[in-house]
Structures are given as C-alpha cells and as structure tokens.
Structure 1
Amino acid sequence: MTVEKVGNGAKQRARRYRENLSARGVALFQVAAPESARPLFREAAELMVREDDPLAPHAAFRKVGGANDPGMQMMAEELAATRLASQAAAARVLALEAELDVAKKATTIEQKRSAAIAAKAQISEKVAADTQKRAEEALGRAKKAETAIRQVKTLPGLKGRLVRWLAGDVLPD
C-alpha cells in the first residue's frame, strides 16, 4: 500500500461524505463565533444533519439554547394565564354591564333606579373582589416570570443571545 492510495481513500471518503450531505440539502460552511459558542454550534449542527429525524434550524437552536426548558415554558404559561385572567375579568365586566342594561330596560323608572343601584352595587362588589383577587395573583405570577426572564436574558454567550432574541417580544429591556 502506498501513501498515494491512502490519500485517495481519504479524498474519496470525504467526497462521498460531502455528496451524501449535499443529497440531503446540507452544505458545509465556516462560521466566525466566540470560542465559547463552538460546542453549541456543533450540537445544533449535529441535531440538524442527523439522518434519522433531523431538526429544523430554529428548533435545533431552541433546544441547544435551552428555550424548551420546562422553566421557560412555565413562565410563558404563567404570562399567558395572566393575560387570560385579565381578559376574562374584562369580559365579565362587560357581561355584567349588559345584564345591568337589560335590567334597566325591563323595569319602570322607579324599578330601574333600585335595580340599577342593586346591580351596580352587585357588579361593583363582584368585579372589585374578583378583579382584585385576579390582579394580585396575576401580578405575583407576572413578577416571578419577569424576574426569571430578566435573569435568563443576562446569560452570557450564545445562550444569552438566543434567549434575548426569543424573549425579546415578551419583555422589553
């Protein structure tokens, strides 16, 4: 066996490897990044080019960056629950106001006054108590979520950049 044959074998293997990648739509290229980001890029690249069930680039970087961690998902769920609670409270206020309008139209002037007073008092009590309770719960959840997001956004390196990019819409700087 000569040195030339060994070199040709390596070239052929490299050519076959590039052809295999090209057939799957993968191209080799270089990236300039901080040395600390190298393992993250390698892991994301491995997830994207694996033959069985490759991940899309966005999903691979989210997985490597830790964006799919249960903690981040729980924070997003808490923010969504807070938004839903405030929307539900607003819808409840509108529904109670609609009931008040119906009560006003269905009675005489004197009955309207007493019904309106009673309805307003009832609405005010229910809405105030419910809204206060939901607002306090939502504020607590929002503060926890905001604190956690702010802490995660300060991570150095690629993870921090990925989190800042992904959570940029959720919490402004």
Structure 2
Amino acid sequence: MGIGDKRKSDAERQERRRQRLAVDGIKPMTVHFPDQDRSIVRDLSRRVLDGQSIRQVMRELGGSNQPDGNVVPPEVLAELDYVKARLVAIEREAASQLAEIEEAERQRRTLEAERDVARVAEAEERAKVHTTATEAQAATRAAQEAKERTTEALQRAEKAETAIRRARSLPGVRGRLVRWLAGDVLPD
C-alpha cells in the first residue's frame, strides 16, 4: 500500500466519522490551547461525546461557583413549602367563598321563583277583581235598565188604567162593553 492509498483511506475514514458525528448533531471544530490545558479539553470533549451535558461537564472540570441546577437550597425549599401551604389555604378560602356565592345564588333564584309565583297570583287576583268589578258593573247596569223598564211599564200601566177609567165612564153601550171587558182587569 502506497502513501497515496493511505492518505485516501484516511480521508475516507475521517469523512465517514464526520458523517456519523453529523447524524448526532456534532461538528468537528479546531481549537488551539496551550499545552498544559490540552488534557482538560480532551476530557471535556470525551465526556460530551459520551452524552453528558456540556454545562455539567464544565461545572465539574472548571469548579464553577454556580450551584448545580438539581440541588435546591434549604431556604428555597422552606419558602416553597410556605408558598404551597399558603396556596392550599387560599384555595380552601376560595372554595369556601365559592360555596357561599353558590348558596347566595341559589337563594336568589329561590326568591326570584317565589316573586314570580307571587306576581302570577297577584295577576290572577287582579283578574278576579276585574272580572268581579265588571260583573258588578254589568249587574248594576242590568238593574238600572230593569228599574227603567219597570218605571216605563208602571207609567204605561197608569196611562192604560186612566184610559180604561175614562172609557168606563162613557155612556151607553160602549161604556158597558168597556166595563164588562175591564171588569176582569180592574176591580171596582
């Protein structure tokens, strides 16, 4: 195998490696470091390629003063517990207020239903009163008309009686005929 073949196979191998890394979303990069830091960079590169988070690796290798995202300080935990307890108390209070509101709404609906029933009863009573008043007015009118007819009938009867008395007093056959016919109607 010649030098040209070795270079060609090395280039192919490197290309295949770049393609495999590209599938995982990793691109090669050339970085220049001082000799004393090369071991740190290699360790960083190896850990990242093994699947660790780059932030976690940097934190471990660099001794970062940022707290680990998974570690929660006790003060924060205590505050979180207080907030949770307060949230539960607020939820209970809200549920209680909601129950009071629902009860008030139920009472309001009940009162509205009673009011509607009372309005219907009042309307029925008004209709009865109106009907009674109308009937009373009609009866009054009928009585008035009957009184007027009775008065007219009495006046006609008086006129007829007066006419019969006059006809009775007629001399002759006419007077006797009237007296005989009127005898059944008017007593002597």
Shared fold per TM-score greater than 0.5:
no
Question: TM-score, normalized by length of structure 1?
Answer: 0.35
Question: TM-score, normalized by length of structure 2?
Answer: 0.33
- Higher gyration radius (CA): 2
Tell me which of the two structures has the higher relative contact order, counting C-alpha pairs closer than 8 angstroms and 6 or more residues apart. 1
